[in-house]
Amino acid sequence: MRAVVGFVALGIFWGALGAALPAVQRHAGADDGQLGVALLLVGLGALISMRAAGVLIDRLGPRVTPITVGLFGITAILPALADSPGRLYVFLLAVGAASGAMDVAINADAVREEVRTGRPLLNLAHAGFSLGVVAASLATGLLRSGGAGLGTVFGATGIVVLASAIAMRPSEPWERPPSEARPRFFERVPSWLLVIGALGAIAFWIEGAWQDWSAVHLERAFDATPGASALGPALFAGAMAVGRLTAHALARPGSERVVLVVGAALAGAGSVLAAVAPSAPLALLGIAVAGAGCSVCAPTLVSLAGNAAEPRERATVVGSLTTVMYLGFLVGPAAVGGLADATSLRASLGTVGALGFLLAGLFALVRFPRRAST
């Protein structure tokens, strides 16, 4: 399936970058503050490109998808070329923009396939991303342990992404909508889409918090070694893959509300357990539960919004939704750090658990949009 291939390729890049980030930081000569700015620019680049990518896909058709994947494959080498903080800023901004465009394209492809077949696909596709992250993280660790440089790591990653672009070429003809029906970049975003996007931003807040802070939490709270603390984000990503595969196997059309409520409640319970756990094994269990819970939120929300959109603007809706949702990735980890400075990291991560329970309540109450005619 084209969409699943794209999600695996996207996960492979981000898994490689996460595992190689310390080496990228050293090569660029960036301090922690400068690295934080560079990572913030990744999200900013994605926000800039996402809605534009959706509009282009709705106007030009599925042939845009392999182009966006190919462009992202070209930018994959850029982290290895950043030999100063300034270049790191520029290169990661470009990576973020290309990644955001690819993200929208593959999500739009997955929604289109769901509508065409009437079968759920988004959780399976997003599970491919999580599995790609885990596999690439482990492979990058092995490559670096064997003496491979950044050029080898990101060169190989770029080749994989470019190969996936070739595999994702559309095989079916596409009928261009009439000019008056084509979406425009500057249009009012419907209120229901903003609501779903805000809920997704909270889910991404929780996800980003544990991806960025789980290793730090394990080191500070339990004096875990760097190797042991790395189990936090790895276990979180693995649990996300399991959660998404489980939802794909068990969930049926019409069960979206149950999936979201249960997922958010598990994210809240796991976050609280990880925050207050008296031992590292219990904290890791909480991190895994949180990962499994929040894993189903984003793909289910994208599916709901995409299926509610008219065919002529489906990718534009996906692009608008992901733009709003990504605000959670930008704000969440920074908010955890700010609150940790004011109180403690345990207390700050405890509020992430409270967000999970709040999200579960909102999912139970919010009115979801109806499916559009195909």
Residue 277 has phi, psi (to 5 degrees) of -55, 140
- pLDDT of the residue at 178: 57
What is the model's pTM?
A: 0.85
Under 8 Å between Cβ of 22 and 283 = no
Which residues of the chain are modeled with pLDDT < 50?
none
The rounded distance, in Å, linking the Cα atoms of 242 and 170 is 29
Per CATH, the number for 188-374 is 1.20.1250.20
- pLDDT of the residue at 182: 61
**Residue from 87, 99, 163, 154 nearest 129 by CA:** 99
Sign of the C-alpha dihedral computed for residues 245, 250, 253 and 258 taken in this order: negative
Under 8 Å between Cβ of 274 and 258 = no
- pLDDT of the residue at 179: 55
Under 8 Å between Cβ of 271 and 356 = yes
Under 8 Å between Cβ of 322 and 107 = yes
Under 8 Å between Cβ of 284 and 235 = yes
Annotation: CATH topology of 1-187 = Growth Hormone; Chain: A; (1.20.1250)
pLDDT tens per residue, range 75-133: 999 999 999 999 999 999 999 999 999 999 999 989 888 888 888 889 999 999 989 98
- pLDDT of the residue at 63: 84
Residue ranges covered by each domain of the chain:
1-187, 188-374
Whether 1-187 and 188-374 share one fold: the answer is yes
